[in-house]
Amino acid sequence: MNNVDCIGCHQLGQEATRTIPAAFGEFKSGEEAWMRRVASGQTGEWMVNRLAGQLGSVPFKYFGDWTDRIAKGELPHSKPPRPQGVERNIVVTTWEWGGSKTYLHDLIASDRRYPTVNAYGPLYGSPEYSTDVYPILDPNTHIVTTFKAPVRDADTPEAFGPGHAAIAKPMAPSPYWGEEKIWDTRANNHNGMIDKQGRVWFAATVRAQKNPGFCTQGSDHPSAKLFPLEQANRHLTMLDPKTMKYTFVDTCFQTHHLQFGYDANDTLWTSGGGPVVGWLNTKMFDETGDAAKAQGWTAFVLDTNGNGKRDDYVEPDQPLDPTKDKRIGGGFYAVMPSPVDGSIWGSVGVFGGTAAVVRLVPGPNPPATALAEIYNVPKPYFGIRGADIDKQGVVWASMGSGHIGSFDRRKCKGPLNGPKATGDHCPEGWAFYQYPGPGFQGIGENSAESSYYTWVDQHNTFGLGEDVPMSTANLNDGLAALKDGKMILLRVPYPLGFYAKGFDGRIDDPKAGWKGRGLWTTSGDRAPWLMEGGKGKKPIAVHFQLRPDPLAH
């Protein structure tokens, strides 16, 4: 139920989920009540398929027992501690934005590489599978405006999420919205990134799934020659705040998360491409306007024959061949260009398979020269999701096992290519740090925290120092930072139930002390009405800042 299932979309344990809505009526047991509950609304079919289908209805028994015990007066076995140390110095400012029926997956405040870009400027929201109306917050005037994102082609279908995570008609009436269809997006904006010119690039839909000819078998595009792609559900777009011009960038590869590289071409790297990772040379695109020429993609190929170059390969389901390399499925979820050596890292195995991180070295002529390495998460740790990289090249990742994990390739002792370099060859590169919060009883020390995403504060935008890894603390109402081996919680005290899917840092004024810098995030809960306040509650944008002491002005 952690960061790839229930808690991948909303919090569990707030008042809205630990009680059964009266609108459902009476049930013989909590188990029956939960069967009805998860059928509610446009996501009902997906929840039922997951819990009743893939998991054989087993969760209903335990969810029902949990809410039955709470209804009879049972209290949690631990009490949340009051803020300690620097946690007492945190300043939290919030704004409502977006609509009460829609949700925000992410926001963006600045260029990750240059955190003074867009200083004191607006925040741009990404409403993902809910609406085409992008909220824009001016934190100086407290005014929220919107941008209605178009799609290029009229036949672009509505987007309800991967694996039909939602449907047009509710499976059963929602206790909040009845049978109303509340989500209707086509643009499907997952998240954005700001470049050094202050423009906002989005992982958003341009057209219907079928790819144009330059992407497919028979094309002379360098990437299509090696790995043709037939369809893509989501692409790239760019909004120029100076003119509000919205530019479509038709990509052959699908997109999900975005990060700019540290190269002269300002290459925009993307995740979500399944068997490939895709990129856009934004410098070339600016110069030519030619999306086909400016983009590329590559499969993930391990150098299993150990000769240091890319060769013909065997497929993921085929045994190793000593004369060839081996392709792996890949499937980047997070994407992380390294500021150290130009390599591109990603978290993989998020929704199935073995949790791992993959390192891609593009080489001088990608995709022909691109080679990959894979490093599996060692047991008993599991459940990788969002990840980021620090200025030393160390990868940090949210783990479903209740930890933040780090992988440092410099600690590997054995060969990093060859027939044994297929994932389990460097457990010594991993380290794990337990998240704060209560854990499950009877299994030893643990944390039930199910963090969605991790981000590294490379530039000290918050005030704890450079290269501090931070995670969304999705069951702790905020964020968690790891400083000198200790966890620091950044909580949103109101409304209770705050849940984020990502965040960003910005330095508005390097000379203004703590007031000139901070973290920005937004409530990413797919159901904002589950927060304190209930129906009608809007998503919130949040600014975290750190004073030198609790009374500092």
Angle of helix 58-71 versus helix 30-37 axis, rounded to 10: 120
pLDDT digits 0-9 by tens, 285-316: 999 999 999 999 999 999 999 999 999 999 99
Per-residue confidence (pLDDT) for residue 176, from 0 to 100:
96
pLDDT at 164: 61
The sign one gets for the Cα dihedral 194, 195, 199, 203 is negative
Rounded to an integer, what distance in angstroms lies between the CA atom of residue 161 and that of residue 163? Answer: 6
pLDDT at 161 over 80: no
Q: What pLDDT does residue 376 have?
A: 98
Strand ordering across the sheet containing 133-138: 106-108, 123-126, 133-138, 143-148
Backbone angles phi and psi of 292, in degrees to 5 = -65, -45
pLDDT at residue 163 is higher than 70: no
CA 92 to chain centre: 22
Q: In whole angstroms, what is the distance from residue 333 CA to residue 343 CA?
A: 16
**Is position 316 within any domain?**
no
Three-point CA angle 471, 472, 478, nearest 5°: 120
- C-alpha 332/C-alpha 249 separation (Å) is 20
Rounded Cα gap, residues 494 and 406, in angstroms? 31
H or E segment and range at residue 404: strand 403-407
Whether 80 shows a pLDDT value over 90: the answer reads no
Q: Confidence class of residue 385 from pLDDT cuts 50, 70 and 90? A: very high
Say if 22 falls within a structural domain: yes
Question: How many separate domains does the chain show?
Answer: 1
**Any domain includes 55:** yes
Single-letter amino acid code for the residue at 56: G
Q: What is the mean pLDDT of residues 534-544?
A: 97
Q: Give the pLDDT of residue 162.
A: 62
Supply the pLDDT for residue 3: 80
What one-character-per-residue DSSP string does 337-369 give?
E-TTTS-EEEEE-SSSS--EEEEEE--SSTTTT
Task: Give strand pairing partners of 479.
Answer: 472, 490
Burial 257-286 (b: 16+ CB within 10 A, else e): bbbbbeeebbbbbbbbbebbbbbbbbebbe
CA distance 415 to 426: 9
Enumerate the β-bridge partners of residue 374.
358
How far is 260 from 207, CA to CA, in rounded Å? 23
pLDDT-derived band at 4 (thresholds 50, 70, 90) equals: confident
The residue segments making up the domain with residue 4 are 1-75
Position 188 in a domain = no
Residue 492 in any domain: the answer is no
Average pLDDT over residues 412-422: 98
pLDDT over 90 (residue 263): yes
d(Cα 255, Cα 248) in Å, to the nearest integer?
Answer: 13
Averaged confidence pLDDT in the chain: 96
pLDDT on residue 268: 99
Asked, for residue 59, whether it belongs to a domain, the answer is yes
Sign of CA dihedral 147, 152, 158, 159: negative
- Judge whether 531 lies within some domain: no
The 3-state secondary structure of 232-301 reads CCCEEEEEECCCCEEEEECCCCCCCCEEECCCCCCEEEECCCCCEEEEEEHHHHHHHCCHHHHEEEEEEE
Report the relative pairing of strands 143-148 and 90-96 from DSSP bridges: unpaired
Q: What's the mean pLDDT in 102-109?
A: 95
Q: pLDDT at position 54, please?
A: 86
The string of pLDDT tens digits covering residues 474-526 is 999 999 999 999 999 999 999 999 999 999 999 999 999 999 999 999 999 99
pLDDT at 397 over 90: yes
Separation of alpha carbons 293 and 221, rounded Å: 8
Does 214 map to a domain?
A: no
Q: What is the torsion angle, in degrees rounded to the nearest 10, for the CA atoms of residue 207, residue 269, residue 508 and residue 478? A: 80
Neighbours of 38 (CB within 10 A): 23
Residue 1: what pLDDT?
63
Query: For 320-333, how does the pLDDT look when each residue is reduced to its tens digit (9 = 90+)?
Result: 999 999 999 989 99
Q: How many Cβ atoms are within 10 Å of 465's Cβ, its own excluded?
A: 11
Output the pLDDT for position 247.
99
- Give the count of alpha carbons within 13 A of 119, CB side only: 13
Task: Kindly indicate the confidence band of residue 166, based on its pLDDT and cuts at 50, 70 and 90.
Answer: confident
CA angle 253, 259, 265 (to 5 degrees): 85
- What pLDDT score was predicted for residue 15? 95
- How crowded is residue 431: how many other Cβ atoms within 10 Å of its Cβ? 14
Q: Token pair for residue 549?
A: 């002491």
Question: What type of residue sits at position 401?
Answer: S
Q: What is the mean pLDDT of residues 373-379?
A: 98
- Of the pLDDT bands very low, low, confident and very high (cuts 50, 70, 90), residue 2 is confident
50 DSSP assignment: I
d(CA 455, CA 463): 15
- Across the range 127-149, mean pLDDT stands at 97
